[in-house]
Amino acid sequence: MIDGDVVTLSRLQFALTALYHFLFVPLTLGLAWLLAIMEAVYVMTGREVWKRMTQFWGVLFGINFAMGVATGVTMEFQFGTNWAYYAHYVGDVFGTPLALEGLMAFFLEATFIGLFFFGWDRLGRVQHLVVTTLLAVGANLSALWILIANAWMQNPVGAEFNFETMRMEVTSFTQVMFNPVAQSKFVHTVSAGYVLGSMFVLSISAWYLLRGRNVDFAKRSMTVAASFGLASALSVVVLGDESGYTVSENQKMKLAAIEAMWDTEPPPASFALFGFPDVATRTTRFAVHVPWVMGIIGTRSLDGVLPGINQLVEEAAQRIERGRIAYAAMQRLRKQPGDAQARAAFDANKQDLGYALLLKREMTDPAQASADDVQRAAASTIPNVPVLFWSFRIMVGCGMYFIALFGWSFWLASRRRLDASRRYLKIALWSLPLPWLAIELGWIVAEYGRQPWAIEGVLPTALGVSSVSAGQVLFSISGFVVFYTALAVIDAMLMTKYVRRGPDGLGLWPMSVPVSPSADERDYGVGT
């Protein structure tokens, strides 16, 4: 049997490091494009203020990049230390996207960030703009590869289990690359990063306006953030819908758990707007349903059926039985590779082999499982319904709020009235943490919702864990917590220091020496 404490602690450690790492990543993704937009305006208009804006927000980008870089490396440590069996089982598929992600992040992105900071005096305007754009492209490509790897965990296509090597092996890298889950996940995730980057610029600029500092600098920054933020917030919702559609095709249990849909409803299924899921009774108390909505979103039809949790558990039990046949056949094949009967049984049931492995959490040999064991293993395919239900709703609520806030900001910017309402500025300022909250909740929905699987339908999480002790994992978690807390404190102090100093305190703007020719003089102080 598997040590449950080691599994829980290893999951906790990975979740902590992943959630921490993703505090930095989306800001890099979003801010990089905002820098490119600001610099593009500078190149097109020649107005100095846009260059200074690029440099000021570039300073904050640099702090975020320096603090965030390599915090993800510890996750890769953990594939070896805590998830050695997982790494063996899926390494043939998982290794390539991870290596490509490393190449993109450490070579392309890191090279261009150096040129971004140190190339202002050495490169022409257009050349430097190309550098900034490639910095943004590099950051986004890096995200693409890690999301291809992650999407394969949600929808394992282009690979097959080899009973001789006891691992998944690639059959089509094209399918892995063009996994529909990867496509929808990538655009949804990077758009969320763009929203975060926009909110970062909007909120800090609102703080300057509230204090009457850097007024023209802040208004221009807010105009860019409002436009880019509105487009991104709309994209996040549309692309999130696409992401949800792929979940309804590949991870029906996750979708049912997000909706706390205990039983299959007649199509089109309703959307639970509110309620308190009760896991013990498998009901949702005080549920408020909106008819048809979930069926239309989930199946894009009026007659598509979305199965409920109870029906999916019954289906899981059947798949466990088929998986046991595949498991027994695999054992026979390993002893006698020429056994045609075993080969036929294995091939007919191998797609459910992973379900038999669910039994290994409680017993060493799935062949010994009783009917009760099978039912318990089938019930274990239900993720944590209340957490998913509420995480999803808070995330979606934040998404709708972002559309409203950026829409309001865009409307004010188009009328040059961004500093007219202190209430608006305060709302913009205090909205700063919300994109981080929404993004972290999004990852909780995606990853916690995949449980009990490390690889959906293929490898149970519990089976991927290393042969280490709970004490060892607890020891390393303590180390990570201390290290990451120290980093977070330094990051907060540095960000606060540079934001408080602002463009004026840093000598970025207004410029102390009048500029000739006078385009900047004409420009400065004229508004947005």
The nearer residue to other proteins, 441 or 508, going by C-beta atoms, is 508
480 binds other proteins (CB under 8 A): yes
Toward other proteins, which CB reaches closer, 437 or 515?
515
Helix (H) or strand (E) holding 411: helix 385-414
Is 9 exposed, middle or buried, given 0-12, 13-18 or 19+ CB atoms closer than 10 A?
buried
Name residue 299's amino acid.
T
- Closer to other proteins at the Cβ: 17 or 232? 17
Q: Is 202 helix (H, G, I), strand (E, B) or coil?
A: helix
> For tokens 């039985």, what's the residue?
321
- Cis, peptide link before residue 510, omega less than 30° from 0: yes
CB 208, min distance to other proteins, A: 18
Radius of gyration of the chain (CA): 26
Q: Contact, 229 vs 198, CB < 8 A?
A: yes
Q: Are 264 and 306 in contact (CB under 8 A)?
A: yes
Give CA angle at 177 (106, 65), nearest 5°. 25
Residue 292: closest CA among 283, 277, 302: 302
> 4 or 291: whose CB is closer to other proteins?
4
Q: Under the criterion CB under 8 A, does residue 358 sit at the interface with other proteins?
A: no
Site membership for other proteins, residue 292 (CB under 8 A) = no
Q: Are 102 and 143 a contacting pair, CB within 8 Å?
A: no
Instruction: Find the part of the chain contacting other proteins (CB under 8 A) among 48-56, 212-220, 296-304, 373-381.
Output: 48-56
Supply the minimum distance, in Å, between the C-beta of residue 366 and other proteins. 10
Residue 444 DSSP one-character state: I
User: For residues 174 and 467, which CB has a smaller minimum distance to other proteins in the complex?
Assistant: 467
Query: Nearer to other proteins by C-beta: 7 or 206?
Result: 7
Name the minimum Å distance from CB 103 to other proteins: 19
- 141, 202, 508, 524: which one contacts other proteins (CB under 8 A)? 508
Are the C-beta atoms of 210 and 422 separated by less than 8 Å? Answer: yes
C-beta of residue 454 within 8 angstroms of C-beta of residue 86: yes
124, 291, 479, 525: which one binds other proteins (CB under 8 A): 479
Binding residue for other proteins, selected from 15, 387, 394, 487, defined by CB under 8 A: 487
**Which three-class secondary structure state does DSSP give residue 276?**
strand
Query: By C-beta, is 507 or 527 nearer to other proteins?
Result: 507
Beta bridge partners of 16: none
Cα-to-chain-centroid distance, residue 239: 13
Out of 124, 337, 433, 507, the only residue in the binding site for other proteins (CB under 8 A) is 507
Cβ proximity to other proteins, 63 vs 385, nearer residue: 63
Residues 68-127 that bind other proteins (CB under 8 A): 69-70, 73-74, 77, 80-81, 84-85, 87-89, 117-118, 120-121
Interacting positions 323-352 with other proteins (CB under 8 A): 330-331, 334
Is the Cβ–Cβ distance between 60 and 495 less than 8 Å? yes
Helix axes 385-414, 180-211, angle to 10 degrees: 50
437, 506, 522, 527: residue in contact with other proteins (rule CB under 8 A): 506
Whose Cβ is closer to other proteins: residue 72's or residue 240's? 72
Binding status of residue 66 toward other proteins by CB under 8 A: yes
Residue 401: CA atoms inside 13 Å, Cβ hemisphere, count?
18
Q: Looking at residues 438 to 477 of the shown chain, list those that interact with other proteins (rule: CB under 8 A).
A: 462-463, 465-468, 472, 475-476
Contact residues toward other proteins (CB under 8 A) are 1-3, 6, 48, 51-52, 55, 59, 62-63, 66-67, 69-70, 73-74, 77, 80-81, 84-85, 87-89, 117-118, 120-121, 166-167, 330-331, 334, 357, 360, 364-365, 462-463, 465-468, 472, 475-476, 479-480, 483, 486-487, 490, 494, 498, 506-508, 511-513, 515-516, 520
